[in-house]
Amino acid sequence: SPPPETPILPADDPDALDQAVGILKAGGCVAVPTETVYGLACDATNPQAVAGVYEAKGRPSFNPLICHVDTLERAGSLIQLEDLGLALAARFWPGPLTLVGPKRTPSPVSDLAAAGLDSLAVRVPRSDTLRTLVQRLDAPLAAPSANASGAISPTKAEHVKDSLNGRIHLILDGGPCPVGVESTIVSVLDPTHPEILRPGGVARDALEAVSGVMRRPAQTNHSAPTAPGQLTSHYAPSASVRLNATQPEAGEAYLGFGAQPKREDIVFFDLSPSGDLVEAAANLFTGLRWLDRVSDRIAVAPIPETGLGEAINDRLRRAAAER
Ligand code: TXA
Ligand code: MG
């Protein structure tokens, strides 16, 4: 079982990597930096290891995990990719794109990681650490975001520690995650009608430049989350969240975007003073966490729905949802 104090070690330290490999081979789980958010990685072929991840997160077992791999070849050994999937992979891997495709059978991936589905979500991350670990294990690594289920995703090693200390074996610290929101999940189950299941680190217009128009994410369905990550009250801070607020009201902390309010009396976190959506995405979860700690009411500035704004607004709507 994990130590009461989970150690944080530098991701670029060879001894720390050796330790991570040992833990993963023994069926444990390790928090690993990726370009999107920190992942809680385990050997996807080992059902006990996967069960340990669900357990550490307190995650409902119907919610399947993304398998991370080092190469397109390994991805192709897990799911069947046709022209469109291959074109998206060629353009965006390694990077913040997850492809859901038909799972090859027999599959080395445990049924628990795939939550018993015939499809599988696969991603080649930009993170050297995660790809190196996959290579050294010679197995895909299942890795959900490294936070307790339903909580805000971690973009720094200390966020992981705040959420999962004592529940996991090791945290590798690679500094703040440069993208800051999770990967975009695209289903290529129907190879002629790709569908965005979750907006994320690759913006819609960049995807559509490769694939043509993609279907919108399905509406939230409480009883049967087909595309998981669709549970409404996800990314929930404990504070209440009010969206599209051009001004904070008395007693509210303010998550701003672009111009600063000229007020001394409010707690304020600016996602991007210059109004840059890429910078805003990178700061989103740090800002939400910080305001959540200092206030029980958060007002959020309007964020444009273009580029990474689609992913940012998706996370903010979930943070504001009834719970
Ligand atoms: O950026 C990311 O995607 C991060 C990093 C660690 O890679 N991972 C991440 O994992 O966000 P997680 O578990 O928090 O979210 C994965 C999402 C879930 O909403 C899950 O339901 C969905 O992927 N998913 C996994 N397999 C699926 C499948 N076969 N069909 C549809 N959705 C799937
Ligand atoms: Mg998550």
Q: Count Cα atoms within 13 angstroms, Cβ side, for 24.
A: 30
Average confidence (pLDDT) over 241-270: 88
8-211 shares its CATH topology with 240-320? no
Residue 222: strand, helix, or coil: coil
Instruction: Report pLDDT digits (tens) over 25-77.
Output: 999 999 999 999 999 999 999 999 998 999 999 887 668 999 999 999 999 99
Distance CA 136, CA 155 (A): 25
Q: Does residue 220's CB lie within 6 angstroms of at least one atom of ligand 1?
A: no
Ligand 1: nearest atom to the Cα of 66: 25
Distance CA 316, CA 166 (A): 29
Question: Which CATH superfamily groups domain 8-211?
Answer: DHBP synthase (3.90.870.10)
Q: Does residue 119's CB lie within 6 angstroms of at least one atom of ligand 1?
A: yes
The residue ranking higher by pLDDT, 63 or 166, is: 166
Q: Does residue 121's CB lie within 6 angstroms of at least one atom of ligand 1?
A: yes
The beta strands (E) that lie in 137-293 are given as: 141-142, 170-173, 184-187, 195-198, 240-242, 253-256, 268-270
Q: Does residue 36's CB lie within 6 angstroms of at least one atom of ligand 1?
A: yes
Instruction: Report pLDDT digits (tens) over 187-214.
Output: 999 988 999 999 999 999 999 999 999 9
Distance CA 52, CA 64 (A): 14
Ligand 1: nearest atom to the Cα of 68: 7
Phi, psi values for residue 17, rounded to 5°: -65, -45
Domain residues of the chain, as ranges? 8-211, 240-320
Check: CB of residue 299 under 8 Å from CB of residue 252.
Answer: yes
Distance CA 11, CA 3 (A): 19
Tell me what percent of the residues of the chain surpass a pLDDT of 70.
93
**Nearest alpha-carbon partner for 236 in 322, 146, 145:** 322
The pLDDT of residue 228 is above 60: no
The pLDDT of residue 222 is above 80: no
Q: Does residue 110's CB lie within 6 angstroms of at least one atom of ligand 1?
A: no
How far away, in angstroms, is 225 Cα from ligand 2 center? 14
Phi, psi values for residue 68, rounded to 5°: -100, 135
pTM of the model: 0.91
Ligand 1: nearest atom to the Cα of 143: 6
What are residue 1's DSSP bridge partners?
none
Residue among 35, 42, 65, 118 whose CB has most ligand 1 atoms within 8 A, to mutate: 65
Average confidence (pLDDT) over 230-254: 84
User: Which residue's CA is the nearest one to ligand 1's atom 24?
Assistant: 64
| 225: number of Cβ within 10 Å | 18
Give me the CATH topology for the region 240-320: Rossmann fold (3.40.50)
Q: Does residue 183's CB lie within 6 angstroms of at least one atom of ligand 1?
A: yes
Q: Does residue 34's CB lie within 6 angstroms of at least one atom of ligand 1?
A: yes
Phi, psi values for residue 168, rounded to 5°: -130, 165
Residue 199 to residues 150, 248, 312, 320, Cα–Cα distance (Å) = 17, 27, 8, 17
The pLDDT value recorded for residue 104 is 98
The pLDDT value recorded for residue 221 is 42
- CA-based radius of gyration for the chain: 19
Q: Does residue 182's CB lie within 6 angstroms of at least one atom of ligand 1?
A: yes
Check: CB of residue 66 under 8 Å from CB of residue 44.
Answer: no
How far away, in angstroms, is 298 Cα from ligand 1 center? 27
